[in-house]
Chains A and B, each alone.
Chain A
Amino acid sequence: MYDVCIIGAGVTGCAIARELSRYRASVCVVERCEDVCCGTSKANSAIVHAGYDAANGSLMARLNVKGNAMMGALAQELDFPFLRNGSLVTCLREADIPGLEALLDRGRKNGVTGLRILSREEAHAVEPNLSDAVAAALYAPSGGIVCPFLLTIALAENAAVNGVTFRFDTNVKEIRRENGQYILETGQGQIKSRLVVNAAGVYADVFHNMVSEDKIHITPRRGEYCLLDRSAGGHVRHTIFTLPTERGKGVLVTPTVHGNLLTGPTATDITDREGTDTTRAGLDEVMEKAAQAVRDIPFRETITSFSGLRAHEDGHDFIIGEPADAPGFFDAAGIESPGLTAAPAIGVMVADLLRDRLRLQKNDSFRARRKGILRPADLCVEDRNELIRKHPAYGTIVCRCESVTEGEIIDAIRRPVGARSLDGVKRRTRAGMGRCQSDFCSPRVMEILARELGIPMEAVTKCGGASRVVGKRMEKGGQEGTAS
């Protein structure tokens, strides 16, 4: 029996878990996948939004601005990459400048500071690769970029170190309230908890509607992206948006904290909550729309494309709190953009609600700081060589594109809430994230995973479940042989 069971180990669930670990409580995060950061949190624009988009007075606006303000200190505390590179919202016609002004006004009312409108000349001066069509831009200096994987992983690791339990490969099938507590039926048995937090992304309506008659409805809104090689990463310095429409913030062009160039997303409402496939039409749309505000994007340098699902709730605002008819069940639902930005603030808000409900005491042994995976490439030569002398694995480069050493991969697997799949290693270390897309390093990473986890190569997966990568070679006649 837990005090709190959080459904979903995305950035929202992990932020809540981490904030909750400041208090003395037994907390469990249940996740259907094999790792944290496997849903919406892993496939998005990786933007820390300034906060001018959300409607004045909305929860979204408040938590966006608060989360943005928290991000810098949190990045220091938990050691994940975050850069305040500033955002530019461009408009392509003089006639649309009032739209920028409206956005500026909305932003100021939301409490966003530093906003100002740049003339055509000013905009092109700060961002030379803007297309000629750009007539003006709203500049938001507090806009930033973050690594969504490392943010989520940092939150999860820190939560785990402070006592939170993570249960992976655990799919919640049913939730019911019995005798003042919640019972979660999962693929891995029953979990009992006094309180439940619903941070289930595109499935949040499913869980909410299991316990409440006040129904909510989430539409998976697919966004497709193209990610370009680091050779293209310097194409723009700021995050470039075009004037938003009712369908969202449109296709953006942005550098990533790792130096790649990211373009996307589209916005297509679908019904399949697992519909993370890309489409030819979608990728064509990304390339076409990205080129409206930014010229000469070298799409030849695309190294991968992907799609993510936004958890779009009909009311288009975050739903945070306890439904009237489901005491002890707390939603963190409808967390679509700017959910990544807002996550630290959502964490605090939900943890406060839970603390007050359970009258939780402070956890005196809470450790706020967490160190990320040591990157030898960041060290001076002397320190790097000292490290290699002590741990020779830091002298073997496994991923040549991103210069990731065996030492980093071992660290990623051994640390709390460690990697258990190729994608888990990739998200933590960037091995396989580069221009060859794991072509060269995947056999080596699989070997390290097999060795560290004590499993055969055939059991190593790309991303858990049935995503096994290789099988045994077959004997003659197509029968699977023994290790030959």
Chain B
Amino acid sequence: MKAYDYDIVVIGGGPAGLAAAVAARDAGAGDILILERDREPGGILNQCIHNGFGLHTFREELTGPEYAARFIAMVRERHITCLTETMVTDIDRDKTVTAVNRTQGVFRIRACAVVLAMGCRERARGALHIPGYRPAGIFSAGTAQRLVNMEGYLPGREVVILGSGDIGLIMARRMTLEGAKVKVVAELLPYSGGLKRNIVQCLDDFGIPLKLSHTVVAIRGRERVEGVTLAQVDAAGKPVPGTEEDYACDTLLLSVGLIPENELTRGMGVEMDAVTAGPAVNESLETNLPGVFACGNVLHVHDLVDYVSEEAACAGRNAAIFAEKRRIGEIADSGPQGVASGCEPETVLVPGPGVRYTVPQRIRTERMGERLTVRFRAGAVYRDAYIGVYCNEERVIHRRKPVIAPGEMETIILEKRLLTAYSNLQQITITIEEA
């Protein structure tokens, strides 16, 4: 009997899961299974009917469903099985995946390698302690998007949006095109968390005001939203008395942050990064559990799907390599005792001043490719600043950027020959340095 049922089980059939599966197959993996909880693969792309996807991957501007369709077609061409409406309820440390659906009931699958690609969810109102009533008409921007674009309903007619993340901005435009009146987009921070192009194309082009350093301090209406009150906030995020402004509206959309959905990951006991709220990974995008990889928004929240696909392909390739090594016996077939990350010399990536986090969090220089993409986010908006990379104490990269903002993920390429030049490379620090 085979020790496992599939070489690779991919948890989630959104952009990350699909790209990981395709890359794993192309890297030679045999049996690959994708488990998707929704009715069809494609994940959140299916409700993103606006264009702007695929500029990096396909060199054309696609809509979300078109972008997803490209990857779904690649999955089909490769005869990779994708089970939809299938919910994974548990993953053991030995990579036994428990799932449930209506045709097979509860079933267990033993995987040689697992790719975590569950995506993220939107932060709910409760986490922000927004006071007021709890009527109908308060939606996350993502739910509103699904209702309009996939289900064909209008969440409301007079809209206030809290949060200027990309989904909030996109929905400001979408609701306007649907005939609703979007009165204002409020943002708690002094800067938008969304892409610049979305502010221009979704707000400015439609004359929708963006109020920075503002938040919702009251929600009125007992059955359906009747209005909200906005107030300016001080540097600490506290509302400034006397700045309250009432807006009549029947709908409040919240776009106040995305949270990687790592309940399964935590259940496995995977080491987490407190800042990304995703697993901590090495250069192969492998967690501290050997053979468990992560990519996409479950690893850290992205702003461009193209980067998700690229990152997921890396995870998929490495999962394929892991499965192959185990097949030929190079990795012991003994569950989590395989080649534990930590047994080999590791270089720690440290987010220095100005940098909130890095992915990956550690590098085994022996195992990295010639070039390794490191993704990170800044903690504030910087103009004419430098990205600095330090090997131990020595600065090895000093790159100027006109604008660095928390809303746009930054990348830096580390070359293997640069790192292997150090005989004892303890840590690599990435910083943002003002001119």
> A interface vs B, CB < 8 Å?
226-227, 231, 274, 276-280, 282-283, 300, 302-306, 381, 384-385, 388-389, 392-397, 400, 403, 435-437, 439-440, 442-443, 457-458, 461-478, 483-484
Contact = CB atoms under 8 A, between A and B. Distances in A.
Given A388-B106, A389-B105, A440-B121, A277 B178 contact: no
A180 B64 CA distance: 70
A397 B140 CA distance: 21
Given A467-B136, A468-B224, A484 B125 contact: no
Contact of A395 (B103, B124, B151): B103
A470 B154 CA distance: 6
A305 B129 CA distance: 7
Contacts of A389: 105
B153 A470 contact: yes
Given A278-B131, A280-B239, 15 more contacts: A302-B126, A381-B106, A384-B100, A388-B106, A395-B105, A396-B101, A403-B89, A437-B126, A439-B121, A457-B153, A461-B223, A462-B135, A463-B136, A466-B223, A470-B151
B106 A397 contact: no
Given A283-B131, A385-B106, A462-B136, A439 B142 contact: yes
A304 B106 contact: no
Interface string B175-198: 000111000000000000000000
Interface string B58-88: 0000000000000000000000000001010
Contact of A305 (B121, B126, B136, B155): B126
Contact of A436 (B89, B103, B121, B152): B121
20 contacts: A280-B129, A282-B131, A302-B126, A306-B134, A388-B105, A395-B104, A396-B101, A435-B124, A437-B126, A439-B140, A461-B136, A461-B223, A462-B135, A462-B223, A465-B223, A473-B148, A473-B153, A474-B179, A474-B180, A477-B179
Interface stretch (B214-222, B314-322, B413-421): B214-222
Contacts of A484: 152
A280 to B, nearest CB: 5
Given A277-B131, A280-B129, A436-B122, A469 B136 contact: yes
A278 B179 contact: no
Interface residues of B, number: 50
B153 A442 contact: no
Contacts of A476: 179
A292 to B, nearest CB: 19
Contacts of B211: none
Contact of B127 (A277, A302, A462, A470): A302
B236 to A, nearest CB: 13
A457 B136 CA distance: 14
B122 A397 contact: no
A466 B224 contact: yes
3 pairs of A and B residues whose beta carbons are closest in the complex: A395-B102, A385-B105, A304-B126
Contacts of B266: 231
B153 A458 contact: yes
Contact of B124 (A304, A396, A400, A473): A304
Contacts of A304: 124-126, 134
A192 B156 CA distance: 41
A440 B180 CA distance: 23
A471 B153 contact: yes
B264 to A, nearest CB: 10
Contacts of B224: 466-468
B146 A276 contact: no
B147 interface: yes
B143 A442 contact: yes
A276 B101 contact: no
Contacts of B25: none
A304 B131 CA distance: 10
B93 interface: no
B89 to A, nearest CB: 7
Nearest to A227: B126
Interface in B190-208: none
Nearest to B129: A283
B147 A276 contact: no
Contacts of B89: 397, 403
A384 B99 CA distance: 12
Question: Which of B147, B178, B266 has the most CB atoms of chain A within a 10 A radius of its CB?
Answer: B147
A347 B156 CA distance: 43
Nearest to B225: A467
Nearest to A228: B126
Which of A227, A305, A461, A470 has the largest number of chain B CB atoms within 10 A? A470
B218 A277 contact: yes
B353 interface: no
B102 A443 contact: no
Contacts of B153: 457-458, 470-473
Contacts of A436: 121-122, 124
A471 B122 contact: no
Given A397-B37, A462-B135, A443 B147 contact: yes
Instruction: Specify which of A279, A304, A393, A440 lies most central, judged by the most chain B CB atoms within 10 Å of its CB.
Output: A440
A303 B124 CA distance: 7
A437 B134 CA distance: 12
Contacts of A227: 126
A118 to B, nearest CB: 33
B157 interface: yes
Given A439-B122, A439-B142, A471-B157, A397 B100 contact: yes
A462 B138 CA distance: 11
Contacts of A471: 153-157
A467 B179 contact: no
A276 B105 contact: no
A279 to B, nearest CB: 5
Contacts of B369: none
A226 B130 CA distance: 11
Nearest to A387: B105
A431 to B, nearest CB: 13
A437 B124 contact: yes
A484 B137 CA distance: 21
A461 B148 CA distance: 17
Contacts of A470: 147, 151, 153-155
Contact of A478 (B102, B152, B179): B179
A197 to B, nearest CB: 26
A422 to B, nearest CB: 8
Nearest to A299: B129
B345 interface: no
Contacts of B105: 384-385, 388-389, 395
A231 B272 CA distance: 14
B4 interface: no
Task: Name the residue among B87, B156, B178 with the largest chain A CB count within 10 angstroms.
Answer: B87
B132 interface: yes
Contact of A473 (B137, B152, B217): B152
B358 to A, nearest CB: 22
Contacts of B87: 397, 400, 403
B113 to A, nearest CB: 24
A304 B254 CA distance: 14
Contacts of B136: 461-463, 467-469
Contacts of A388: 100, 102, 105-106
A305 B133 CA distance: 10
B105 to A, nearest CB: 4
B223 A395 contact: no
A98 B41 CA distance: 64
A282 B130 CA distance: 11
A443 B153 CA distance: 10
A400 B37 contact: yes
A469 B135 CA distance: 9
B139 to A, nearest CB: 8
A277 B133 contact: yes
A392 B102 contact: yes
Given A397-B37, A467-B223, A478-B179, A303 B126 contact: yes
A300 B266 CA distance: 17
A477 B106 CA distance: 50
A441 to B, nearest CB: 10
